[in-house]
Amino acid sequence: MYESPFAKSIQDWQQQRINPTRAKWIAAISITASYLITVLCVENTYVLFAVGVGFLVLLAYLFSKPDQIQQVTFQQTPELHQPVT
C-alpha cells in the first residue's frame, strides 16, 4: 500500500488527518456527480433528501480537515512554554 501513487496522501491522513485541496475538489465533484445520477434514477423524495443530506455532511467533514501541516508557534500555545513550578 505504501508504494502506491497515493502513499503520501494516505500517510498524511493517517498521521495528521491532512487531506490535500486537490483531493477535496475531486471528491466534491465525484459526490456531486453521484447525487445527480441518484436524482435521475430514484423517484422517492425521502431517499433523495436523505442521500443529499448525507452527501452534504460528508462534504462538510471533508472540507473541515486541513490541507497542509499546521505549524504551532509559541504565540499560539504560550501555556506550553511556562516554567514548571
pLDDT, tens digit (0-9, with 9 covering 90-100), for 65-83: 888 776 655 565 556 656 6
How does pLDDT run across 18-44, given as a tens digit for each residue?
A: 888 888 999 999 999 999 999 999 999
Number of domains in the chain: 1
Whole-angstrom distance, CA of residue 36 vs CA of residue 51: 11
Strands (E) across 1-85 are located at none
Q: Which domain holds residue 30?
A: 26-60
Written as nine digits, the cell of 78 is: 504560550
pTM above 0.95, yes or no: no
Whole-angstrom distance, CA of residue 78 vs CA of residue 63: 28
DSSP code of residue 80: G
In a domain, 35, yes or no: yes
Q: Of 33, 31, 29, 10, nearest to 20 (Cα)?
A: 10
In a domain, 85, yes or no: no
